[in-house]
C-alpha cells in the first residue's frame, strides 16, 4: 500500500476490485477487529494485532494474501461507512477501468448506429477547432467532433463546453454509457447526461503503438 493512498481509498479500491459491497466490507472489518477473523464474499479478514491506536488487518483470498495494512481505530469507530466516501477516487476509478477492459467494453469496429450504453477506451488523435452553436435551449455552446481511435479503427466523438477543455491530443479516454448516432450522414459517438468521460493513466499495448507523435 502506497503511503500517499489513504486507508479509506485503499479499502474502496479493494471493495471495487473484488466486488464486495462497501457496507458489508466495513462491517467485516469491525467484526475482525473484535473477533480476530471475519469473511466477506471471497475475502477473509484477519486481525493480526491491535492496540488503542490501530489494528493490523490481513486480507486474503483462498491461500493468497491480498494485502496487509494498519487501520486506525478511529476509522473503525466511524458511524457512517467511510469507505463509501472514496468509491469515486482516482485509485478506485482505475480499478473500474480495468474491469471494463472485458467483453462489456467495446472496440470502435463493433459500434453501430442506435447502440446505447457503450463503454470503450480510445486515444485522442485530433481535436479540431471548436465551433459556437445556438442550441435548442436558447443559449450558445461550444462543440467539436474529436477524432478518437483504437487498434480497430477511428470515430468522431462529439464533445461540448467543459468536456473539450478536459482532454488533450494523446490522452487515452475511458468513455462510459455513450450512444451511437448519425449526424449529416456521419457516424459519431455521443455522451449523454448519464455518460462519463475520464482520462486513463495507463495504455494498453495496441493503443501505445497507435499514432505516436
Complete domains list, the chain, with CATH: 7-100 (no CATH), 108-209 (2.40.50.140)
CA distance 187 to 40: 45
- For residue 38, the SS3 value is strand
Single out the residue of 139, 140, 154, 142 nearest to residue 186, CA to CA. 154
Whole-number percent of the chain with pLDDT over 90? 39
| Phi (first) and psi of residue 133, to 5 degrees | -130, 155
Torsion, Cα of 71, 73, 78, 83 (10° steps): 0
> pLDDT band at residue 210, thresholds of 50, 70 and 90?
very low
Share of the chain above pLDDT 70, in %: 83
Q: State residue 213's pLDDT score.
A: 43
Q: Give the span between the Cα atoms of 68 and 159, in whole angstroms.
A: 43
Residues found in the chain: 213
Put simply, whether the predicted model's pTM sits higher than 0.75 gets the answer: no
Which pLDDT score, from 0 to 100, does residue 29 have?
95
Q: 161-199, pLDDT tens digit by residue?
A: 888 888 889 988 889 889 999 888 888 999 877 788 887
DSSP, collapsed to helix, strand or coil, labels residue 8 as: helix
Query: Beta strand 43-50 with 64-72: parallel, antiparallel or unpaired?
Result: unpaired
Amino acid at each position: 500500500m502506497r503511503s500517499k493512498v489513504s486507508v479509506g481509498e485503499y479499502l474502496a479500491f479493494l471493495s471495487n476490485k473484488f466486488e464486495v459491497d462497501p457496507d458489508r466490507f466495513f462491517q467485516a472489518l469491525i467484526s475482525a477487529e473484535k473477533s480476530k477473523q471475519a469473511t466477506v464474499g471471497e475475502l477473509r479478514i484477519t486481525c493480526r494485532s491491535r492496540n488503542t491506536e490501530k489494528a493490523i488487518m490481513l486480507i486474503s483470498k483462498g491461500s493468497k494474501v491480498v494485502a496487509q495494512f494498519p487501520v486506525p481505530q478511529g476509522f473503525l469507530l466511524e458511524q457512517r461507512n467511510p469507505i463509501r466516501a472514496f468509491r469515486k477516487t482516482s485509485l478506485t476509478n482505475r480499478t473500474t477501468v480495468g474491469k471494463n477492459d472485458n467483453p462489456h467494453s467495446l472496440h470502435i469496429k463493433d459500434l453501430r448506429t442506435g447502440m446505447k450504453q457503450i463503454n470503450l477506451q480510445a486515444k485522442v488523435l485530433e481535436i479540431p477547432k471548436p465551433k459556437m452553436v445556438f442550441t435548442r435551449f436558447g443559449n450558445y455552446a461550444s462543440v467539436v467532433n474529436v477524432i478518437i481511435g483504437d487498434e480497430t479503427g477511428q470515430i468522431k466523438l462529439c464533445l461540448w463546453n467543459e468536456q473539450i477543455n478536459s482532454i488533450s491530443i494523446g490522452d487515452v479516454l475511458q468513455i462510459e454509457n455513450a450512444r451511437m448516432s448519425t449526424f449529416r450522414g456521419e457516424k459519431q459517438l455521443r455522451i449523454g447526461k448519464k455518460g462519463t468521460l475520464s482520462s486513463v493513466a495507463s495504455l494498453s499495448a495496441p493503443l501505445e503503438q497507435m499514432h505516436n507523435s
